[in-house]
């Protein structure tokens, strides 16, 4: 067997290329793609990943440096996953080495600095199974080890806890009486289900009949909250598990409540694990390796789980596929949903995209026949909620609440039901103003006001996290005539407490749910039933089931309706429909009250009268007319620097180069970002669009490499965002 002469290695560096290295000094077998290696890079040592091997004269010749050491005896990254990440790095214009580093759990990314947490299980080998209870009469530890393993496989940690030393394990392993478990968890058949699933409704059955399991197909499962989408996921997963394969379920950050996990665990008798940002590093690494070994059969995770190394993936499910949290908004800016579709396609397996409010992208793909739509309309329990638009023009308001809203809240509480009051702004007030000199509390690093948090007596910048004590006097004129402007959830909470002193008011937002179980506790309190008012941000809009909730009040639709972002109305429609979906899930039909100064806005009217599907169809027509996604392809180049000129100049240069290279691409900008200054840096955007994806991709590939070497780029932090979700 001839050994390679050099390797191509992905190294976490901002350069969009791979690097060549000579083999390590100890080179007795070829290093396979996906193996971690330690390499010299400049004056540093970095962890890289082997991508490919080559024979003959290496590019770069004699000057090439050598790999210092291989860190894995087998590739850490399975080949299909490696291919997926490299595809994504190319599609999202991200340096491949950084993309690979980004998808690894931190402990594994650190290479040898942190030893792998132990996930190996020891078991008796076939020889070991033949040992009788009388074996090792004079070696009690060895006898104990055999007895322990007869009960089932154990990790070394568990064995250590039982008093077995590493020495004893090594001895028996050397005698091939025990071995590391390599075989996968057996196929589940009879014992797979641990509860009896409900009989599918007619439309659920039709959807299930439409699913094909042995090839790629994307299904858009469109059904309101409560129409039984999760039940379809469970049924589909059952089929996949019966085929001996694994399932990957992606959920938005906030949807990953214990409720979801509990429902999957209740149904299946096989290992179900969760992967999300709340896990400790060791547990993350353990879960990651557990799905790679095939020990974990169902993985439920947030965005980053799209890159989890499931070895026998048989289906992918993306719940709430429209959710913004699937898009990574910094660094490696991938869309977990879009990647999941690509992954399913490469693996030739089905993918289910579920939502009550599908993204325009998915509706567009469905209309072009790329996705198959499965519609669910049979709502469990109550009928769909009734919408009412409350025009705020000239209406008397009491701390943001109209008479109609107060009335509806009073009636609902009197009937023993629950109310949700929604507003998408945390804190107490949106600003603190001096009545005497018009000083206003602003962030020193961003061009924005500091939000007043009365609970903690602080003023906080919601963009960079800057905080200071709540001012009691104006720092400019020493006056104490300070006024609070605007309202956030804290203020709404205290207003509602004043207005309804005998009703519990529960606030749910990022500030009120910081403690480890505080969200869970609040949700349990609400689910216990009885009159109560919930106040909260979009955290409340997602996935939760509140059986007693009957009325949802949206304090204001104005911000979203008037948003400069072209996706503003799409987001508004999704948010309102999701909030509305919280109302009337029990046996009572719900009511939704939307307050707005634009109560007669045609989009709001369509949403209220005809529902999300018709609303979305109208938006799709608008997008087609303007060439915006999903009708055309869009990308952003962002630049930020301590000097506005530097940031703007770099983008102007990028535009000049781009215009010369790609006449088919339309440019807009450089424009200042909506939040022009943030964290002490000035921010600019250049938007690039094209009716076809191809020319845009090609241009950006060339442009990215040019920008890497431009001297103007040195003082600037720049990034490329493909299919941007927010024009920030
Ligand atoms: P979604 O995911 O669309 O919100 P779920 O699957 O959670 O809907 O279903 C809503 C409720 O209806 C759940 O309590 C679920 O257990 C129940 N349910 C779903 N399908 C059926 C069915 N075929 N028969 C009886 N109950 C069902
Ligand atoms: Zn003042
Ligand atoms: Zn700030």
Contact 536, 528 (CB under 8 A): no
Closest CA to 335 of 708, 686, 724, 19: 724
What span, in angstroms and rounded, lies between the C-alpha atoms of 148 and 79?
Answer: 36
Ligand 1, atom 12, lies closest to the CA of 380
Q: What is the pLDDT of residue 118?
A: 47
Burial 255-293 (b: 16+ CB within 10 A, else e): bbbeebbebbbebbebebbbbbeebeeebbbbbbbbbbb
- Confidence check: pLDDT of 126 > 90: no
**φ, ψ dihedrals at 415, nearest 5°:** -85, 5
pLDDT band per the 50, 70, 90 thresholds, residue 269:
confident
* Mutate which of 203, 220, 226, 543 for ligand 1 pocket (most atoms within 8 A of beta carbon): 226
Mean per-residue pLDDT over the chain, rounded: 87
What is the chain's alpha carbon radius of gyration, rounded to the nearest angstrom? 29
Closest CA to 568 of 363, 324, 271: 324
Q: What is the pLDDT of residue 115?
A: 41
Note the ligand closest to the C-alpha atom of 468: 3
* Mutate which of 221, 228, 238, 249 for ligand 1 pocket (most atoms within 8 A of beta carbon): 228
Q: Which atom of ligand 1 is nearest to the CA of 198?
A: 24
- Confidence check: pLDDT of 720 > 90: yes
Ligand 1 pocket residue status of 489, Cβ below 6 Å: no
From residue 545, alpha-carbon distances to 180, 595, 663, 665 in Å are 44, 24, 51, 46
Q: Which atom of ligand 1 is nearest to the CA of 356?
A: 3
pLDDT in tens, 6-17: 999 999 998 899
Gap from CA of 481 to ligand 2 centroid (Å) = 8
Percentage of the chain with pLDDT > 70? 94
Gap from CA of 228 to ligand 2 centroid (Å) = 57
Q: Give the lowest-confidence range in 240-244, 362-366, 375-379.
A: 375-379
Gap from CA of 237 to ligand 1 centroid (Å) = 16
- Where does residue 95 fall: left (phi above 0), alpha (psi -120 to 50 degrees), or beta otherwise? beta
Gap from CA of 679 to ligand 3 centroid (Å) = 5
Ligand 1 pocket residue status of 606, Cβ below 6 Å: no
What span, in angstroms and rounded, lies between the C-alpha atoms of 132 and 148?
Answer: 13
Percentage of the chain with pLDDT > 90? 44
pLDDT in tens, 84-109: 999 999 999 999 999 999 999 988 88
Ligand 1 pocket residue status of 649, Cβ below 6 Å: no
Ligand 1 pocket residue status of 227, Cβ below 6 Å: yes
What span, in angstroms and rounded, lies between the C-alpha atoms of 66 and 121?
Answer: 35
Q: What is the pLDDT of residue 234?
A: 97
Note the ligand closest to the C-alpha atom of 471: 2
What span, in angstroms and rounded, lies between the C-alpha atoms of 694 and 306?
Answer: 24
Q: Can you name the residues that pair with 461 across neighbouring β-strands?
A: none
Ligand 1, atom 16, lies closest to the CA of 231
Gap from CA of 88 to ligand 2 centroid (Å) = 53
Q: Which atom of ligand 1 is nearest to the CA of 381?
A: 12
Q: What is the pLDDT of residue 660?
A: 94
What span, in angstroms and rounded, lies between the C-alpha atoms of 721 and 654?
Answer: 14
pLDDT in tens, 369-404: 999 999 998 766 556 778 899 988 877 777 788 999
Q: Which atom of ligand 1 is nearest to the CA of 225?
A: 4
**Stretch 453-480: mean pLDDT, rounded?**
86
Look at strands 154-155 and 217-223 and give their pairing: unpaired
Contact 685, 638 (CB under 8 A): yes
SS (H, E, C) 443-469: CCCCCCECEEECCCCEEECCCCCCEEE
Regarding predicted confidence, which is higher, 599 or 500? 500
Gap from CA of 640 to ligand 3 centroid (Å) = 15
Ligand 1, atom 5, lies closest to the CA of 228
Contact 269, 193 (CB under 8 A): yes
Regarding predicted confidence, which is higher, 52 or 434? 52
SS (H, E, C) 153-184: CEEHHHHHHCCCCHHHHHHHHHCCCEEECCCC
Q: What is the pLDDT of residue 695?
A: 95
pLDDT band per the 50, 70, 90 thresholds, residue 185:
very low
3-state helix, strand, coil in the chain (%, to 5): 35, 25, 40
Closest CA to 334 of 313, 308, 303, 305: 303
- Confidence check: pLDDT of 132 > 60: yes
pLDDT in tens, 675-708: 788 888 999 999 999 999 999 999 999 999 999 8
pTM: 0.83
Surrounding ion ligand 2 within 5 Å at CB are 434, 436-437, 439, 474, 476-477, 479
Ligand 1 pocket residue status of 204, Cβ below 6 Å: yes
Residue 194 CB coordination number (10 Å): 11
State which H helix or E strand residue 222 sits in. strand 217-223
Residue 30 CB coordination number (10 Å): 15
Ligand 1, atom 24, lies closest to the CA of 198
Those residues whose C-beta lies under 8 Å from the C-beta of residue 404, and which sit 6 or more positions away, are: 388, 390, 395, 593
pLDDT band per the 50, 70, 90 thresholds, residue 155:
confident
Q: Which atom of ligand 1 is nearest to the CA of 201?
A: 23
State which H helix or E strand residue 390 sits in. strand 386-391
Q: Which atom of ligand 1 is nearest to the CA of 232?
A: 6
What span, in angstroms and rounded, lies between the C-alpha atoms of 349 and 314?
Answer: 6
Ligand 1 pocket residue status of 495, Cβ below 6 Å: no
Ligand 1 pocket residue status of 350, Cβ below 6 Å: no
Gap from CA of 355 to ligand 1 centroid (Å) = 14
Ligand 1 pocket residue status of 325, Cβ below 6 Å: no
What span, in angstroms and rounded, lies between the C-alpha atoms of 260 and 302?
Answer: 12
First to last CA, the chain: 54
Length of the chain: 728
Ligand 1 pocket residue status of 465, Cβ below 6 Å: no
- Confidence check: pLDDT of 170 > 80: yes
- Confidence check: pLDDT of 483 > 60: yes
What span, in angstroms and rounded, lies between the C-alpha atoms of 35 and 37?
Answer: 6
Q: What is the pLDDT of residue 542?
A: 67
Residue 195 CB coordination number (10 Å): 11
Gap from CA of 227 to ligand 1 centroid (Å) = 6
């Amino acid at each position: 067997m001839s050994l390679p002469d050099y390797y191509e290695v992905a190294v976490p560096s901002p350069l969009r290329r791979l690097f060549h290295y000579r083999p390590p000094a100890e080179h007795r077998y070829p290093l396979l793609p996906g193996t971690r290696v330690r390499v010299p890079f400049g004056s540093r040592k970095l962890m890289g990943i082997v991508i490919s091997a080559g024979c003959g004269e290496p590019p770069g010749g004699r000057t090439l440096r050598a790999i210092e050491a291989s860190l894995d005896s087998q590739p850490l990254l399975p080949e299909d996953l490696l291919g997926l990440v490299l595809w994504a790095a190319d599609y999202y214009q991200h340096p491949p080495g950084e993309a690979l580093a980004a998808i690894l759990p931190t402990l594994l990314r650190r290479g040898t600095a942190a030893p792998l947490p132990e996930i190996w299980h020891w078991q008796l080998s076939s020889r070991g199974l033949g040992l009788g209870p009388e074996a090792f009469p004079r070696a009690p530890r060895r006898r104990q080890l055999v007895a322990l393993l007869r009960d089932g496989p154990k990790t070394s940690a568990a064995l250590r806890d039982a008093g077995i030393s590493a020495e004893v394990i090594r001895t028996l392993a050397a005698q091939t009486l025990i071995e590391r478990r390599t075989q996968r968890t057996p196929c589940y058949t009879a014992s797979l289900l641990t509860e009896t699933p409900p009989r599918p409704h007619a439309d659920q059955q039709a959807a299930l009949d439409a699913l094909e399991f042995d090839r790629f197909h994307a299904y858009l499962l469109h059904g309101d909250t409560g129409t039984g989408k999760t039940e379809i996921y469970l049924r589909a997963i059952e089929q996949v598990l019966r085929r001996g394969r694994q399932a990957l379920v992606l959920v938005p950050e906030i949807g990953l409540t214990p409720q979801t996990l509990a429902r999957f665990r209740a149904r299946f008798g096989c290992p179900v694990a969760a992967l999300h940002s709340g896990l400790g590093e060791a547990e993350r690494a353990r879960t990651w390796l557990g799905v790679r070994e095939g020990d974990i059969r169902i993985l439920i995770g947030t965005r980053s789980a799209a890159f989890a190394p499931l070895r026998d993936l048989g289906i992918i499910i993306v719940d709430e596929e429209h959710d913004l949290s699937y898009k990574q908004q910094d660094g490696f800016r991938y869309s977990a949903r879009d990647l999941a579709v690509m992954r399913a396609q490469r693996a030739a397996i089905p993918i289910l995209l579920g939502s009550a409010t599908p993204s325009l992208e998915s509706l567009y793909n469905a209309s072009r026949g790329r996705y198959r739509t499965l519609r669910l309309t049979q709502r469990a329990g109550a009928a769909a909620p009734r919408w009412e638009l409350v025009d705020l023009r000239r209406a008397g308001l009491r701390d943001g609440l109209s008479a109609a809203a107060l009335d509806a809240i009073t009636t609902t509480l009197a009937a023993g039901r629950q109310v949700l009051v929604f507003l998408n702004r945390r804190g107490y007030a949106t600003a603190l103003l001096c009545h005497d000199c018009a000083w206003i509390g602003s962030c020193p690093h961003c061009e924005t006001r500091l939000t007043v948090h009365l609970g903690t007596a602080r003023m906080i910048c919601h963009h960079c996290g800057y905080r200071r004590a709540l001012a009691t006097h104006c720092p400019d004129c020493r006056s104490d005539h300070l006024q609070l402007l605007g309202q956030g959830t804290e203020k709404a909470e205290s207003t509602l407490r004043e207005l309804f002193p005998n009703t519990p008011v529960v606030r749910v937002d990022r500030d009120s749910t910081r403690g480890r179980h505080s969200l869970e506790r609040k949700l349990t309190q609400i689910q216990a039933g009885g009159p109560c008012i919930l106040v909260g941000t979009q955290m409340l809009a997602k996935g939760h089931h509140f059986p007693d909730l009957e009325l949802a009040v949206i304090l204001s639709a104005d911000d979203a309706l008037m948003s400069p972002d072209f996706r503003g109305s799409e987001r508004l429609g999704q948010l309102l429909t999701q909030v509305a979906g919280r109302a009337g899930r029990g046996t009572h039909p719900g009511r939704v009250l939307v307050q707005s100064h634009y109560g007669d806005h045609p989009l709001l009217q369509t949403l209220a009268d005809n529902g999300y599907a018709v609303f979305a169809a109208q938006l799709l027509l608008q997008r087609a007319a303007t060439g915006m996604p999903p009708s055309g392809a869009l990308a952003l180049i962002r630049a930020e620097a301590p000097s506005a000129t530097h940031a703007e100049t770099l983008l102007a240069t990028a535009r000049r180069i781009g215009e010369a290279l790609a006449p088919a691409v339309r440019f807009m900008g450089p424009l200042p970002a909506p939040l022009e200054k943030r964290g002490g840096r000035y921010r600019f955007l250049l938007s690039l669009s094209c009716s076809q994806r191809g020319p845009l991709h090609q241009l950006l590939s060339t442009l990215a490499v040019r920008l890497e070497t431009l001297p103007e780029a040195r003082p600037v932090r720049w990034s490329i965002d493909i299919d941007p979700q927010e024009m920030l």
